[in-house]
Structures are given as C-alpha cells and as structure tokens.
Amino acid sequence: MATAPQPEILTAFEAAKGFMPVDEGLALYAAAVEAGALGLPLLEVGTYCGRSTVLVADAARAAGVTALTVDHHRGSEEQQPGWDYHDPETVDPEVGLMDTLPTFRRTLFKAGLEEHVIALVGRSPQVAAVWGGPLGFVFIDGGHTDEHATADYEGWAPHIADGGLLAIHDVFPDPEDEFTGQAPYRIYLRALASGAFTEITATGSLRVLRRTGAGI
C-alpha cells in the first residue's frame, strides 16, 4: 500500500484551510496508512476545516476502514477573535461565533472523500465518553490548553488497540511555545512515561507513537 498520497489528495490537503505543513502531513498520512492495516477506524481529534482530515480519510479509504473526526467546530482558544490564528471567514455572521463545519464539508466534497468520513460534531470528552470500540489510530490535534489536551489524551488513548498508533501534533518542547505546543508536549511526555507507548517517528512538531503496553 502506498505510503504517500496521490497528487490530487496532496493538492486538496494544501488547498484546505489549516496549519499543518506538508512534511508533517506526509508523516501523518504514512502513519494512518500503517495503522489502517489493523482494520479498525482511524480517529482525528480537532477537525477545523479538514486539512489533515483529507489525509486521514484517504488512508482510511485505501485500507477499507472509516475515518472519524471530532470537533465542536467553534474553534479552539488560539483561533478566537484577537488571536493570531483567527480567520474571520470562519465566523457565522448570524450567531457571531466561529463555525468551521461548512468549510470542512466543502473540503471533503472537493477531495471526493465525503463517504469515507464520519464527522462527530461535539466536544471531545463528551464524544469519547460514549465511544465504545477499539481504534487503530488516534490523532490528537485539538485545543492547546492543558485542560483540553489532557482530556483528549485521557478520553481517546485508552481506545487505541495493541499495535495501534497515537499521533500528537504541535509538540513543542520550548517553554516559549506555551500557548501553541506545551500542552501537547506534556501529553506526549505522559504517553511515553506511561509505558503504554513507544515513539516511532518525529517529523517537525508531529510525534507518532505505537501502543506497545498496557496502562495509559
């Protein structure tokens, strides 16, 4: 199975709103393809406008499994008005709040991947609390506070099957990155310290770990 996306998928990824650079996207795709061999769903936490979802969904399509993506679509802290990552085009003028769901749906439609994705619209801890099955892959790319990153890890990591993969985005060890990558860095350290995960790749700010033991 190919470990790099077809040109049209990479084009759709690059055209979508989002913040993941190409090298990290290619590493994410390779991990999702590998995890797809387990025959279990691939799950992403933090959809935004679907940039990384395109890659996870295409890997799921190739493996004959389903991609799931979890987001309340109101934007995380750093995407709110007044912050550097805010995009006014994502604000619903009727309610005055961010709503990235319509843009996400257009992203999937343009990529031809709608039928391979289930969008779970809600807050990650609430969705995780009612999720009951094993997962081959979990990609954590949601809110960057300790509260949200920890909830994502505690909610979803226990569902990763033996041999499955945990990917964490925006892992920045430098304390200067407190508002962009310290919380993801801390859950990354927690995953390693748990003994349940072993790191297999590091590309930019993306870390990929394999479930190799019990406990979280």
- Catalytic residue positions? 144
> How far apart are the C-alpha atoms of 147 and 65, rounded to whole Å?
31
* Three-state SS at 161: strand
> How far apart are the C-alpha atoms of 124 and 159, rounded to whole Å?
13
CA dihedral 180, 128, 165, 26 (to 10 degrees): -50
Q: In sequence order, what DSSP letters do the residues of 98-139 get, joined into one string? A: E--HHHHHHHHHHHT-GGGEEEEES-HHHHHHH--S-EEEEE
> How far apart are the C-alpha atoms of 157 and 143, rounded to whole Å?
16
Q: In this structure, how many other beta carbons lie within 10 angstroms of the beta carbon of residue 212? A: 13
For residue 57, the number of C-alpha atoms closer than 13 Å in the C-beta half-sphere is: 27
How far, CA to CA in Å, does 18 sit from each of 38, 47, 53, 95? 28, 9, 10, 23
